[in-house]
Copies of this chain bind each other. A is one copy, B any other.
Amino acid sequence: MSHDNLTATLLITCPDQKGLVATVTNMLASRKLNILDLHQHTARTDSRFFQRIKFDLSELEGSREALERDIGEMAARFQMEWKISYSDKKKRVAIFTSKYYHCIVDLLTRWQIGELNCDIPLIISNHEDQRALAETFNIPYHVFKITKDNKAEQEAKEIALLREYNIDLVVMARYMQILSDDFCAAFPHQIINIHHSTLPAFIGAKPYHQAFERGVKLVGATAHYATADLDEGPIIAQGVVDATHEDEVEDLVRKGRDVERIVLAKAVNAHLDDRIIVHGRGTVVF
């Protein structure tokens, strides 16, 4: 859903209580901010409240700082966690890549035709392989070779670079290094990872070989926020494609690629659109 006008999107989560929606909407109405889209969800299991409000900012009375001060005061009263984004301030995305090609090309192509509403000022890799691709899209390409010995040091440099570029979101487009807990902690719910998944799940080495042996009839992919527990972060999007006995291991891998890139793009778009709120180990995706 695109709106060309100046808008803001406010994400809120807090313990549920009476009058929350009225409180928030009154606060916005008092500043002449017309609500364009509102999604609200209350999780029954832990009585937690989630809300996404997108509103027209073109007639804002007072400054953004004043608005955020109002929100902050309200948040303090209701133990709210909140985040606001403005449509005239694009998110800044860094893509991490290794040797696999399909996810990063897909993202860059979508970005070029306007499907991803962000800037991509930076690509980081542990290999030289995608430099030509980065140049085609005029994006600076930084290589940090990772070894057992230099990992902490290299990651510190990467974090510094991400800070320097004011990066809002890191997309691991099949980046084949495990991020350290420290790295994940430095960008909480700001790192999206994609990995294959099969039904049932095959754990350990060579999952596609295991899946092939068992004769799976589906191949899937899961996009999630990277947390210290790498493949166990909150799920954002998932997808599957059909498989048959005619699919050899490399066919399963190819089908996996197709579903990976679709699912990754879907998750990235949900993040860029401010449609995700993390809920414990899961997510609310409005």
Contacts and interface: CB of A to CB of B under 8 A. Distances in A.
A282 B113 contact: no
A218 B199 CA distance: 11
A240 B199 contact: yes
The dominant DSSP class at the A interface is mixed
A105 B238 CA distance: 24
A206 interface: no
Contacts of A16: 34
Contacts of A201: 199-201
A36 B49 CA distance: 9
Contacts of A126: none
B37 A38 contact: no
A251 B209 CA distance: 33
A256 interface: no
B39 A283 contact: no
Interface in A18-74: 18-22, 25-26, 28-29, 32, 34-45, 50
Contacts of A262: 258, 262
Contact of A42 (B36, B113, B200, B284): B36
Interface string A215-231: 11110101000000001
Contact of A25 (B25, B105, B217): B25
B251 A238 contact: no
A219 B254 CA distance: 23
A157 interface: no
Interface in A99-120: 101-102, 105-106, 109, 112-113, 115
A198 to B, nearest CB: 8
A214 interface: yes
A262 B242 CA distance: 13
B254 A234 contact: no
Given A200-B201, A215-B235, A217-B238, A22 B18 contact: no
Contacts of A26: 22, 25-26
22 contacts: A1-B44, A20-B35, A21-B21, A21-B35, A22-B26, A38-B40, A40-B40, A102-B109, A109-B109, A115-B254, A199-B240, A212-B282, A213-B281, A214-B235, A215-B235, A215-B281, A218-B220, A218-B238, A240-B240, A242-B242, A245-B279, A245-B284
Interface of A: 1-3, 16-22, 25-26, 28-29, 32, 34-45, 50, 101-102, 105-106, 109, 112-113, 115, 136, 197-201, 212-218, 220, 222, 231-232, 234-240, 242, 244-251, 254, 258, 262, 279-285
